[in-house]
Structure 1
Amino acid sequence: MAVFWGGGLAVFSIMPVPFSAVMVERQLGAWLSGDFGYVAHSDWVSMDEISPFMGLAVIAAEDQKFPEHWGFDVAAIEKALAHNERHENRVRGASTLSQQTAKNLFLWDGRSWVRKGLEAGLTLGMETVWSKKRILTVYLNVAEFGDGVFGVEAASQRYFNKPASKLSMSEAALLAAVLPNPLRFKASAPSGYVRSRQAWIMRQMRQLGGEGFMESNKLM
C-alpha cells in the first residue's frame, strides 16, 4: 500500500485525478444497497478553469492558514481538542485542506487512529511533493458537493448551469458552505444555516483580501 500511495502522490502531482477513494466508496455503497442508478459525477478542470472566488471560498471556510502551514494547523487542533473535551456530543474537527485532500483522494471514511495516522503520513508526503496550488487544485476536483457530485466543475454545472470558471463570489461561497456535510446541506435548496454560513464565508473572503490573496500566495 505504501508503494501505491507513494506512486499516487508522484503521478497525481502532474496528472489529472480520474477518481478518488471517496468516489469509489460512494459508488460501491450505492451498488451494494441496490441503487444501480447512482453515478459519481466528476469532471477534472485545471486551476485556470476555476474561478478564483472558488479557491478563496474554500480557504475562507475551511483553512485560512492554508498558504502558511505544512499540512497541519496546530492552533486549530488544540482548539478542537479543548472543545471536544467540553462537548462530547458535538465533535469538532480541525482538518486542513491538505488533510482533507489526502483523505478524500486515498482513504476511507472513519475516525480510527489507523486511518488518522495514514492521513497524517499522506499529508506530509503531499506537502513535500506538491505545491500549494496543486493541493488546492486537486481538492477542488475531488471534494464532494452533493449526492453523486464531486469536484467544482460538476457542482457548478449541476447547481448553476455554468462552468466553474464563471462562478461568482456568492455562488462560490454557497458551494463552500455545504462542504462540512454535503449529503446533509444542499446547495440546491440551502437552509437558513447554509445561507448564514454563506454570508459568513463571503465576509471572510473580503477580509482575506479577495482575489489579491490568491495572487499573492501564488494559488492562481
Structure 2
Amino acid sequence: MRYALYAFKQWLLLLLAGFVLLQLFFIGRVGFMAVVDPSSTAFERSQAWQIVSSQGRLLWRQTWMPSEQIAKPLKRAVLASEDSAFTSHNGVWWDAVEKAWSKNAKAQAKLEAQAAQKKNGKVAAPKIVGGSTITQQLAKNLLLSGERTLIRKGQEWVITVALESFLSKKKILTLYLNHVEWGNGVFGAEAAARHYFQKSASQLTEWEAARLAVMLPRPRYFEKLPQSVYLSDRAQTIMARMNDVAVP
C-alpha cells in the first residue's frame, strides 16, 4: 500500500512537472516572437495538411507584411468587426464574453423549444456566437489545436496573458493580420488583398477593408459567396464604425 501511494505521488509530481514545462515552453515561444516573427502557426500547418490530403497539392497564399505596409482602413475594419476594445482590454474582453454566453444560452433555449414542438422534424442548429478577442484568437491559432475543451481554453488563456505581457498591441495586431485565415489556403492581409482585389494590402480602400473584415468569422464560407447580400450590408455597418476604434 505504501509503495502504491509513493508511486502515485511520483506520478503526480511528474504530471505537474510536465505541465509546468509545457507552460514555460509556450511562454518562451511567445517571448521569442517579440524579436522573430513566426513563419507559420499551428492552425496554418493543420490547414496545409488538410489541403494536401484532400487535393493532393498545396494551394497556398501568404506574404508577411510589416505593420506600416498594411492599410490603416483594414486595421480599423478588423478592430471594428472583431474586437473594438482591443487597445483597452488586457487580452480578455469580459463584457463580450458575457454577451456571447447570453446569446448562446438564448439560442439553445430557442432550439430546445422548437425541438419540443417538432419532435419528428429537423430543427436548424443555433448560431454560436464567440466572445474571443483578437489576442485570444491569435493565441489559439499560433500554438494550439482546434479542439474545444476546457483544458484547451485554459491553455489559450495562459498564452493570451503571455502575448499581452511580452508583446505590444501593435505587434499582436500585426501578427494577427499576417496569419489570420481569409479563405481556403489564403492567410494574411497581403494574400487576401491579392486574392480578392488584385492589389496590395497597403492599397485597400475602406469598402474593400470592411468586406475583408466581415469575412473573418467564416472566410471559407464567404469565399464561395462573393455576391452575398450579407457581406455588402455588413460591410456598410463596419464602415460606419471604423473611425470609432483606436488603432495601436
Please report the TM-score for the alignment, with normalisation by the length of structure 2: 0.80
Answer whether contact 1:17 1:44 (CA < 8 A) is retained.
Answer: no
**1:170 and 2:190 equivalent?**
no
**1:91 and 2:128 equivalent?**
yes
Q: Deviations over 1:148-186 (max 9, x none)?
A: 000001111111111111111111111101001111112
Quote the residue 2:119 is aligned against. Answer: none
Quote the residue 2:60 is aligned against. Answer: 40
Shift of 1:36: 1.9
**1:189 and 2:226 equivalent?**
yes
Cα distance in 1 for residues equivalent to 2:179 and 2:241: 23
From 66, 69, 79, the equivalent of 2:86 is 66
Change in CA separation of 1:105 and 1:40 when aligned onto 2, cut-off 3 Å: farther
Cα distance in 2 for residues equivalent to 1:11 and 1:163: 28
Q: Partner of 2:176: helix, strand, or coil? A: helix
Quote the residue 2:121 is aligned against. Answer: none
Which consecutive residues of structure 1, in runs of 5 or more, have no partner in the other structure?
Answer: none
Equivalent positions of 1:95-174 (< 5 A) are: 95-174=132-211
1:83 aligned partner, one-letter code: K
Please report the TM-score for the alignment, with normalisation by the length of structure 1: 0.90
Quote the residue 2:240 is aligned against. Answer: 203
2:51 aligned partner, one-letter code: A
**1:5 and 2:42 equivalent?**
no
Quote the residue 2:216 is aligned against. Answer: 179
Answer whether contact 1:156 1:164 (CA < 8 A) is retained.
Answer: yes
Of 99-108 and 60-69, more deviation after overlay is shown by 99-108
Shift of 1:188: 7.3
Identity of aligned residues (%): 36
Change in CA separation of 1:4 and 1:55 when aligned onto 2, cut-off 3 Å: same
Answer whether contact 1:41 1:150 (CA < 8 A) is retained.
Answer: yes
Change in CA separation of 1:187 and 1:32 when aligned onto 2, cut-off 3 Å: closer
From 4, 23, 26, the equivalent of 2:47 is 26
1:140 aligned partner, one-letter code: L
**1:76 and 2:113 equivalent?**
no
2:30 aligned partner, one-letter code: L
Change in CA separation of 1:38 and 1:132 when aligned onto 2, cut-off 3 Å: same
Answer whether contact 2:62 2:187 (CA < 8 A) is retained.
Answer: yes
